[in-house]
Amino acid sequence: MMRSETPSTMRTSVLVRAGELTVENRPVPAPQADQVIVRVNAVGICGSDVHYFHEGRIGDFIVEAPLVLGHEAGGVIVAVGEDVEASRIGERISIEPQRPCRRCAFCRSGRYNLCERIEFYATPPIDGAFAEYVAIQQDFAHAVPDSVSDEAAALMEPLSVAIAAIQKAGVRPGGRVLITGAGPIGIVTAQTARAFGATEVVISDPMAERRDVALRFGATDAVDPAAGPLGSGYDAFIDASGSPVAVRQGISALKSGGVAVLVGMGADEIALPVSTIQNRELVVTGIFRYANTWPTAIALVDAGAVDLDALVTGSFGLAEVREALDSASHPSTLKSIVRPDREFSER
């Protein structure tokens, strides 16, 4: 192992159980042969972090032991395993926060996000990135250019969700796209749709404040779903709300042959307009995280086609993770960032 000067212990925010966080000193991880150790510069707050904090579970994933949250992360490589070039020390990177098995049929076909043995940051029992240092496989530590800020390096993760959704929806130049939900994922998806060439991007949200934000981030129109139909004839519909009503409205607004992609986490089961799906030959699908998206994400940000820095609405120290999680419920919040190297917030 080769490393720059690093301490033997680090500060870590730990979810002890639902609703209870503490800051602990833990050993700095040592890299396996194919891993790098990253000094974490920024971590974004995700809805899944908030859900684990309040509920202690998401579906079948249950917090049964203390867990480190946070999976949207970027930083600097400070140590490398024996199979990694020492020249990578000092490299600024964005973390793709997962570890597939690399041997199953899904991994070998490139769909490693569907690997049944995948390990994912901040998904029980795998610890995440609300810590000063983390380990990740070297090829999932993606180098970023100097044009990419620490915050944007962390937010490549939600951008990757948007890219996966846009690719699954088959968005092409000149396309018409409907997005329901103007939260962080909806906003990033609107930007991504425009970057992929969509000329009409309509976003629906019941909150006027979020509709206004959507218009600043790539949406060509923002509508109130309570005010009437969401339009019709869309090539693609992407739900970023998890609302059963929104899903049904969006599917009904597709043109024949259109594609609906369900991204938002909501009810486990909802009623769908089956006759509409059949008669229009619609495709209704979902996405589970992402695969092979980081190069595209980095290129879009580097080119200025997607603005991640403008999404940041708050910055918090590692001891303020509770406040950062609570901030996610505020209508004015897009992305709160945890900076492990800072003691106090800069809100």
Q: Catalogue all structural domains in the chain, each as residue range(s) with its CATH number.
A: 2-155+308-339 (3.90.180.10), 161-286 (3.40.50.720)
Confidence of residue 267 (pLDDT cuts 50, 70, 90): confident
Q: Please determine, for residue 5, whether its predicted confidence score (pLDDT) is greater than 90.
A: no
Task: Report phi then psi at 253, rounded to 5.
Answer: -90, -5
- CA of 220: how far to CAs of 45, 59, 177, 202, 227, in Å? 27, 35, 10, 6, 18
Judged by DSSP in three states, 208 sits in helix
Confidence of residue 4 (pLDDT cuts 50, 70, 90): low
Contact predicate 75/42, CB 8 Å: yes
Question: Encoding tokens for residue 63?
Answer: 């917090």
Shortest CA distance to 183 belongs to which of 30, 332, 324, 28? Answer: 332
The average confidence (pLDDT) of the chain is: 95
How much is the pLDDT for 65?
96
pLDDT of residue 325 exceeding 90, the answer is yes
Per the document, the length of the chain is 347
| Mean local confidence (pLDDT), 1-29 | 90
pLDDT over 80 (residue 1): no
Query: Do 315 and 309 meet the contact criterion of CB atoms below 8 Å apart?
Result: no
Over pLDDT 70: what percentage of the chain? Answer: 97
Closest CA to 68 of 338, 326, 308: 338
Query: Which positions ≥6 away from 109 have C-beta within 8 Å?
Result: none
Q: Which residues pair with 145 in a beta bridge?
A: none
The pLDDT of residue 245 is 95
**Alpha-carbon gap, residue 186 to 225, rounded angstroms:** 15
Residue 2: its pLDDT value, please? 62
Q: At what angle are helices 208-216 and 184-195 packed, to 10 degrees?
A: 30
* CB distance 144 to 93 below 8 Å: yes
pLDDT mean over 299-306: 98
Q: Which of 140, 153, 6 is nearest to 79 (CA)?
A: 6
Q: Over range 4-28, report the average pLDDT.
A: 93
Residue 301 and residue 145: Cα distance in Å, rounded? 10
Closest to 297 in 3D by CA, of 107, 134, 166: 166
Q: What burial letters (b/e) apply to 275-285, b meaning 16+ CB within 10 Å?
A: eebeebebbbe
Bridge partners for 259 per DSSP: 236, 283
Band (329; pLDDT cuts 50, 70, 90): confident
Q: Is the pLDDT of residue 179 over 60?
A: yes
pLDDT digits (tens, 9 = 90+) for 185-199: 999 999 999 999 999
pLDDT of residue 244: 96
* Average pLDDT score over residue span 196-224: 96
pLDDT at 90 over 80: yes
Q: What is the 3-state secondary structure (H, E, C) of 59-85?
A: CCEECCCCECCCCEEEEEEEEECCCCC
Predicted pLDDT at 331? 81
* Global pTM exceeds 0.85: yes
- pLDDT, one tens digit per residue, over 96-144 is 999 999 999 999 999 999 999 999 999 999 999 999 999 999 999 999 9
CA distance 271 to 329: 27
Per-residue confidence (pLDDT) for residue 6, from 0 to 100? 81
pLDDT of residue 343: 61
Tokens 């079948």 correspond to 60
Q: Is the pLDDT of residue 8 over 60?
A: yes
**Interatomic CA distance for residues 314 and 161, integer angstroms:** 21
Segment 208-227 shows an average pLDDT of 95
Residue pLDDT, tens place only, 239-251: 999 999 999 999 9
C-alpha span between 106 and 100 (Å, rounded): 9
Instruction: Choose among 86, 76, 250, 203: nearest CA to 148.
Output: 76
Q: What residues contact residue 146 under an 8 Å CB cut-off, 6+ apart? A: 92
* Digit-coded pLDDT (tens) for 30-79: 999 999 999 999 999 999 999 999 999 988 899 999 999 999 999 999 99
